[in-house]
């Protein structure tokens, strides 16, 4: 069954029952549509079509491709309500707050930014008549593998800059959220020539085939570190360029003297955005002794009052875990913390009265490094709050993770915060914020959180082939 508001977009992307895989509503588990089950043979055909379409698409030039991207952004905005409601049902995030409507708006914003960012040839050497310039050409065909937590937005991060630079794209959504990305691609394809962008809704076999396929010139992947390592191995034979945005166990450090009341709500959303299911959300929080109890109480108070429930309710701002596997991860990590003697300040249990995959917003205190809830990426609505007394020790513990996607420093003293930020091993360090991203500011991880950058001019260069012209 489908809601009337989403029927139009669903009709364009779903297949009849019996011909596809049922996709449940994340909150109610009611089937909302059936996703096509594409195969490796379908992938081969999509790559062939992309390869054939790429020269003409590239020949259009930046001005025409940018004009089409602006048309697409306009169309995304025109269908924002339909897209947000489908996204809310399939992924689980509520319409309001930094959730479904926010995500669809971000799709339009990132599409426009990909169209508008200037990327002129760079003069890197000039001495009299001798001159060397770096130009950026299309790579060819891009394979884009996106995750289930921000399915539309992250797909756009991969698709829009690739198209702007003259590449064609084959996009594979997560098996958990295919309909949202199929709907997104449906809107894009109302403005693009055939073969320029194709979505392949397949299983893990199809994803593995993308990484190893000789028809791709570039692979973009957002997902787990373990899968990222497999993609690196699989791509060795064809030497496709890679952009990997992998897992993050982001640390935050609250310095002494911080005004807790002033930062509390921003801190809360840095942790619990998308019910904690965000690669670059704050996953472990180190708080100085002098502020520890105040921070724990502030977070717990906000966690208790934030409305949680089905996404289509206009009142809710926290939703369910998207799938059973992630629900089980969060449950295991919080139960382990309890068994270790950590203090469950609020939450710490499922909310079955809301639905089968809801887990209450959870604040865990009196816990140390070494507990799985601290050392592993929980990717859900549970935050461990760790006490520290020495800033150098807090920095060392924050850096002890193999991952380094994001981090944050919270302080009333901007200069002190910057000094600590310089010492943290992360691709982005925010001050008095966490997870705030900008389409014009490069974003990417270090260590086991991947490599390559997205957004801004750096993101355009990442989906292009640099060519030096010397004269």
Residues noted as catalytic: 245, 279
**Which pair of tokens denotes residue 216?**
């791709």
**Distance of alpha carbon 276 from alpha carbon 304, whole angstroms:** 15
Is there a contact between 191 and 111 (Cβ–Cβ < 8 Å)? no
Q: Do residues 168 and 51 touch, judged by C-beta distance below 8 A?
A: yes
136 CA to centre of own chain: 26
Calpha distance 181→172 (Å, rounded): 8
What is the Cα–Cα distance from 348 to 112, expressed in whole angstroms?
Answer: 41
Angle at CA 163, nearest 5°, toward 158 and 168? Answer: 95
469 to 61, 176, 466: CA distances (angstroms): 19, 45, 10
- Contact between 30 and 1 under an 8 Å Cβ cutoff? The reply is yes
Question: Of 203, 159, 142, whose CA–CA distance to 20 is shortest?
Answer: 203
DSSP strands (E only) in 225-308: 241-245, 250-254, 282-288
Dihedral sign of CA atoms 37, 43, 44, 47 in order: positive
Task: Using DSSP, state whether 98 is helix, strand or coil.
Answer: coil
- Helix pair angle (178-189, 61-78), 10° resolution: 120
Backbone dihedral angles phi then psi of residue 291, each to the nearest 5 degrees: -120, 0
Report how far residue 382's alpha carbon sits from residue 74's, in angstroms, rounded to the nearest whole number.
37
SS3 184: helix
Q: Is 327 within 8 Å of 357 (Cβ atoms)?
A: yes
φ/ψ of residue 24, rounded to 5: -90, 155
Give the separation between CA 267 and CA 247, rounded to whole angstroms.
20
């Amino acid at each position: 069954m489908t809601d009337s508001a989403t029927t139009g977009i669903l009709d364009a992307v779903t297949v009849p029952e019996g011909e596809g895989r049922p996709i449940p509503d994340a909150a109610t588990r009611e089937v909302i549509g059936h996703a096509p089950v594409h195969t490796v043979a379908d992938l081969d055909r999509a790559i062939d079509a992309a390869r054939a379409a790429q020269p003409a698409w590239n020949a259009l030039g930046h001005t025409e491709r940018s004009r089409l991207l602006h048309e697409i952004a306009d169309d995304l905005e025109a269908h924002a309500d339909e897209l947000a409601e489908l996204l809310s049902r399939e992924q689980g995030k509520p319409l309001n707050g930094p959730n479904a409507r926010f995500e669809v708006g971000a799709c339009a914003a990132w599409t426009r930014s990909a169209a508008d960012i200037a990327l002129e040839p760079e003069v890197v050497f000039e001495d009299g008549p001798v001159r060397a310039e770096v130009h950026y050409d299309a790579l060819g065909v891009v394979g884009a593998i996106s995750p289930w937590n921000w399915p539309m937005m992250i797909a756009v991060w991969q698709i829009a800059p690739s198209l702007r630079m003259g590449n064609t794209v084959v996009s594979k959504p997560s098996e958990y959220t295919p309909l949202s990305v199929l709907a997104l691609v449906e809107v894009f394809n109302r403005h693009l020539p055939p073969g320029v962008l194709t979505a392949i809704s397949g299983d893990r076999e199809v994803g593995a085939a993308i990484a190893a396929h000789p028809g791709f010139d570039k692979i973009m992947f957002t997902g787990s570190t373990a899968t990222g390592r497999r993609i690196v191995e699989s791509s060795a034979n064809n030497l496709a360029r890679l952009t990997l945005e992998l897992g993050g166990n982001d640390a935050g450090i609250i310095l002494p003297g911080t005004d807790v009341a002033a930062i509390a709500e921003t801190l809360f959303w840095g942790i619990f955005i998308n019910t904690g299911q965000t690669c670059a959300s704050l996953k472990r929080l180190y708080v100085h002794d002098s502020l520890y109890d105040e921070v724990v109480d502030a977070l717990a108070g906000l966690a208790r009052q934030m409305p949680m429930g089905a996404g289509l309710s206009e009142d809710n701002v926290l939703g369910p875990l998207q799938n059973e596997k992630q629900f089980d991860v969060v449950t295991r990590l919080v139960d382990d913390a309890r068994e270790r003697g950590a203090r469950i300040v609020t939450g710490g249990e499922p909310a079955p009265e809301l639905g089968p995959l809801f887990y209450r917003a959870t604040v865990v205190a009196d816990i140390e490094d070494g507990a799985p809830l601290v050392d592993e990426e929980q990717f859900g609505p549970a935050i461990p709050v760790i006490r520290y007394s020495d800033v150098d020790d807090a920095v060392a513990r924050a850096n002890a993770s193999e991952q380094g996607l994001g981090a944050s420093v919270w302080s009333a003293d901007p200069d002190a915060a910057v000094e600590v930020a310089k010492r943290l091993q992360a691709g982005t360090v925010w001050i008095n914020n966490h997870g705030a991203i900008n389409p014009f500011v490069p974003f990417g991880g270090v260590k086991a959180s991947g490599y390559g950058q997205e957004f801004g001019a750096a993101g355009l260069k990442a989906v292009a082939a640099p060519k030096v012209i010397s004269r």
